[in-house]
Structure 1
Amino acid sequence: MAIVFTSFIEVLNDLGMGAAIIQRKQENLSEEHFQTAFWSGVAWSLLIYLVMVIAVAPFAVNFYKEPMLGQIIPVLSLGILSSPINMVHKAQLTKALDFKKLTYVNNFSNIFSGVLSLALAFLGFGVWSLVFNSIASFLIAMPLYFRATGWKPKFMWSEQAFKDIFGFGIFTTGTNLFNNLMNKLDYLLIGKLMTAADLGAYTLAFVLTDTFRSQVMGVMNKVMFPVYSSLQGNSKELKMYYSRVVKYNCLLVFPIMLFFIAEGEAIITLFFGQKWNDAILPLQILSGSVLFHMMVNSNTVVVRGMGKAKLEMQLQIYKSIFLYIPVLVGMIYFYGIIGAALAFLIIKFVSVFIVLFYLNKLIGYTFNDMFLSVKPVLLASFVPFLTIIAIHKFWPLNFYISAFLFFSSYILSVYFIMGKEMKEVVRKIKKKPLQTNV
């Protein structure tokens, strides 16, 4: 409940200035831009934190009728203050494609905070173990980022530099705001109209499917955003890279989602217990929605990388108003958490055609291009999926045997269908790492 409200404000936190630094060409970037972004972010985050404490926390308490939110939100919101401090460092490392250092910082801080959270949970701190997790994560990451880049803030601020980065960043922030609204609207409505148990069951299904999908895509998106930015104006190269991104993201996510559909009941009951049975059908439906999402995954990163942040925001606004909100509200009101899952299935299906329309306009990416990108993955994925479904009809398999058969047959299918291509990709990576002009 607390995260629903804090996440709305967090997307406003750095005003998109980190993305603006990454997108901006190197020759048009100076130390003034870094310093201006840092101090503007610090001032803005302090204001946002005050809004969280004074206005948002009391509102959340009244909205959910949960007094504890008045204590949790101010503490959880401390993470807002970390964003501008780490923003410039992350932007510099991302722009330089130095993902080794980024990975080290993220992994170390996440592992440390995760261990702390588990220890606190075992000691009986309850929900506060999750709250302290987020605080510990940014406190540990902060000195590591300073060490990774060697960059230090100075008392420097430029009005022109602010205009340069704010002009791009404000549209990015608008996009993130609407994205977050759509990603949290289902939680907000279920939490308000139904019980906490319903929200818990739905959240579990969503975390296992759509959140997993976003984490996998997030890795690729962080890599490709600076790459797309360096290819502005080269539609042919953008189309080629985007096709590969779609294919290889699908390669990772498709088998997981199909396995959730085939073995959803076994996964929930075996790993979470029968008290979570209400999450089974939403898990399977949401897995289907992710399959559609993956067919045009990472499309917004292409648009943003081309410098068309305003177009990206406009598209998200239109989809929010005319698709997400009416479908989600109607389906949740009438059908509860099953309706929420079905709403996402409908939304993701319709979104495929919307995305293909504007990608065709921008880089010439058509339905046929999409089909050619996902075709080998579809073939490789549905062979083990249909096999497991057929076997289950005649022979009740042990879950672990079923999982082994599914993923081993998937790997074999990938080898026979895409083996030559995969070997060529590995050979090229070893021979010549990706070079860009960033």
Structure 2
Amino acid sequence: MAALKLKILKGVFWNSLQVLVNKSFSFVIKLVLAKILFPEEFGIVGMALVFTSFVEVFNDLGFGAALIQRKNENLTKEHFYTAFWTGVGWSLIMYQVMIFVVSPLAASFYNEPLLLKIIPVLSISVLSSPINLVHKAQLMRDLNFKKVAQIENLSAIASGILSLVLALNGAGVWSLVFNSVATFVISMPLYFRATKWTPKFIWSQSAFKDIFGFGIYTTGTNFSNNLINKLDYLFIGKFVSAGALGAYTLAFVLTDTFRSQIMSIMNKVMYPVYGKAQEDIASIKKYYLNVVKYNSLIINPVMGILIVLGEPIVFNFFGDKWEQTIIPLKIIALSVIFHMMANSNTVLMRGMGKSKMEFFIQLFKALFIFLPAISIGVYYYGIIGAAYAVLFNKFVSVCIAQFFLKKLINLHYKELFSVLKGALLGLIVSMGIGYVSYNYTPVGMIVSLVLMMGSYVGIIWLIMGEDLKKQYLEIKFGKEKVAG
């Protein structure tokens, strides 16, 4: 147990470093690109990504998740070889689908001929992604997140620099397109070098059935998640405008995308951990509550700042051309706060081997909650209606997740709110202070932001200071020395 905890802590550290370097750099690149480019150009790429993302969902057939989740005694070399060659063959087929079916369909749907050129280029990642999945799965099974972090950071930095150079040289929308492609292409040889794993020409039917049985539900879940994540983009691009889609995209990048990137720190570590501790319900419950608590501590104050100071942040950092982003930004930030009450629950289900349950839950939410909500929202109220649909979906998702978590790990609402009380109280106090200081005093955005962060940290320290100090000492000296 002590060895596993040490691996978890190291995994969190390296994933934190990856997100800090990778996502911070990517955010700065997007900020600069937003100043150089226009909402319409972001919107066109958003249109393309709607269609490419649906095809990419089926690209690895869930093999990566299956290889990570399986226990050592149930995994052979044939599983890895079979996953690799199946992925390569399948990706070649999918790339033809992208060129000859998806590109014309998307161009016709949006009446945007440029998509005929953009989608085939974006789809290069379809070929490279399955090649990387086996290598990445091997590193994650070994909890070697240090190597994954190094590869992801290097590829993100290189692709970001490329897109910036292209934008400064007038490449326009293509600077965004090549940013997505370069990340996958650059990481491919790095993963081969990291694992030293070379695929042999071996394909096993039994191994295929073994991992496909798990992976098919994971793929179904990813498809359902993609419906939830992309239906709003699809409808806004079709029924509103490319400019509106660009504004909405920026709102999502600053809120829900930021949330998912931060949560990925813990999720990448905890997924294989849940898989190793599938039958230890008490440990899984403890791990999950800690994940919810610390993710909320980090993400909630950022969302509070965006709700209170979203308008000056958008105007000062991105300019007047992004004014449409402000109201959706605030609404989606509020939806993220609701989401944090059940964050990472799907990772827990998948890690426990409940991929079928996860699939049907996500499919139900996509078809019977989000689809009608986003249809009505966009039709009547444009991107503001879309943002309210996201908020409604997050609220319902929390209720559904809590129902199933009670069945899986006997998690009660009281236990959930007990670990969240510090983050929620700190959020409420900091938002109140920020609202009053910015709107009713002569201080500006920067001072109000500092006051919000200071008050949040102060509340958290008053409520959780001793617990945080204990966690710090355990990380630094080890649990036994702290107890002694």
TM range (shorter): over 0.9
Asked if 2 retains the 8 angstrom alpha-carbon contact of 1:247 and 1:374, the reply is yes
Asked if 2 retains the 8 angstrom alpha-carbon contact of 1:18 and 1:91, the reply is yes
CA separation in 2, counterparts of 1:63 and 1:303? 36
Cα deviations across residues 258-288 of structure 1 (Å, max 9, x unaligned)? 0111101111111111221111111111111
CA separation in 1, counterparts of 2:476 and 2:210? 38
Q: Which amino acid aligns with 1:91?
A: A
2:245 aligned residue = 199
Q: Which amino acid aligns with 1:335?
A: Y
Q: Which amino acid aligns with 1:354?
A: I
Q: CA deviation at 1:145?
A: 0.6
CA separation in 1, counterparts of 2:442 and 2:418? 36
Aligned-partner SS, 1:67: coil
CA separation in 1, counterparts of 2:324 and 2:169? 29
Q: Which amino acid aligns with 2:444?
A: N
1:352 aligned residue = 398
Q: CA deviation at 1:307?
A: 0.4
Q: Which amino acid aligns with 2:261?
A: Q
Asked if 1 retains the 8 angstrom alpha-carbon contact of 2:422 and 2:459, the reply is no
1:113-152 correspondence to structure 2 within 5 Å: 113-152=159-198
1:325-340 correspondence to structure 2 within 5 Å: 325-340=371-386
2:89 aligned residue = 43
1:376 aligned residue = 422
Aligned-partner SS, 2:100: helix
1:255 aligned residue = 301
1:168 aligned residue = 214
Asked if 2 retains the 8 angstrom alpha-carbon contact of 1:380 and 1:417, the reply is no
Q: Does 1:302 align with 2:348?
A: yes
Q: CA deviation at 1:304?
A: 0.2
1:60 aligned residue = 106
- Percent identity between matched residues is 56
2:325 aligned residue = 279
CA separation in 2, counterparts of 1:130 and 1:320? 28
CA separation in 2, counterparts of 1:171 and 1:324? 20
Deviates more, 1:234-243 or 1:403-412: 403-412
Q: Does 1:212 align with 2:273?
A: no
1:155 aligned residue = 201
RMSD: 1.2
Aligned-partner SS, 2:123: helix
Q: Which amino acid aligns with 1:338?
A: I
Aligned-partner SS, 1:153: coil
CA separation in 1, counterparts of 2:459 and 2:234? 41
CA separation in 1, counterparts of 2:190 and 2:459? 42
Counterpart pick for 1:28 among 74, 82, 95: 74
If the length of structure 2 is used for normalisation, what is the TM-score? 0.88
Aligned-partner SS, 1:281: helix
Q: Does 1:179 align with 2:236?
A: no
Cα deviations across residues 117-170 of structure 1 (Å, max 9, x unaligned)? 100111111111122222222221111111111111111111111111110001
CA separation in 1, counterparts of 2:95 and 2:76? 29
Aligned-partner SS, 1:396: coil
Deviates more, 1:323-332 or 1:409-418: 409-418
Counterpart pick for 1:265 among 294, 297, 311: 311
Q: CA deviation at 1:397?
A: 2.0
Deviates more, 1:125-134 or 1:358-367: 125-134
Asked if 1 retains the 8 angstrom alpha-carbon contact of 2:433 and 2:451, the reply is no
Q: Does 1:232 align with 2:281?
A: no
Q: Which amino acid aligns with 1:232?
A: Q
CA separation in 2, counterparts of 1:167 and 1:136? 32
Aligned-partner SS, 1:97: coil
Q: Which amino acid aligns with 1:84?
A: P
Aligned-partner SS, 1:295: helix
2:64 aligned residue = 18
Q: Which amino acid aligns with 1:198?
A: A
Q: CA deviation at 1:432?
A: 4.3
CA separation in 2, counterparts of 1:263 and 1:369? 32
Asked if 1 retains the 8 angstrom alpha-carbon contact of 2:57 and 2:223, the reply is yes
CA separation in 1, counterparts of 2:442 and 2:258? 28
Aligned residues between the structures: 433
CA separation in 1, counterparts of 2:159 and 2:397? 36
Unaligned runs of 5+ in 2: 1-46, 480-484
1:436 aligned residue = none
Q: CA deviation at 1:393?
A: 4.0
2:471 aligned residue = 425
Asked if 2 retains the 8 angstrom alpha-carbon contact of 1:254 and 1:381, the reply is yes
Q: Which amino acid aligns with 2:293?
A: K
CA separation in 2, counterparts of 1:274 and 1:68? 27
2:387 aligned residue = 341
Q: CA deviation at 1:26?
A: 1.0
Asked if 2 retains the 8 angstrom alpha-carbon contact of 1:296 and 1:352, the reply is yes
Cα deviations across residues 164-201 of structure 1 (Å, max 9, x unaligned)? 11100010000001101110000100111101111111
Unaligned runs of 5+ in 1: 434-438
CA separation in 1, counterparts of 2:443 and 2:241? 35
CA separation in 2, counterparts of 1:22 and 1:244? 22
1:364 aligned residue = 410
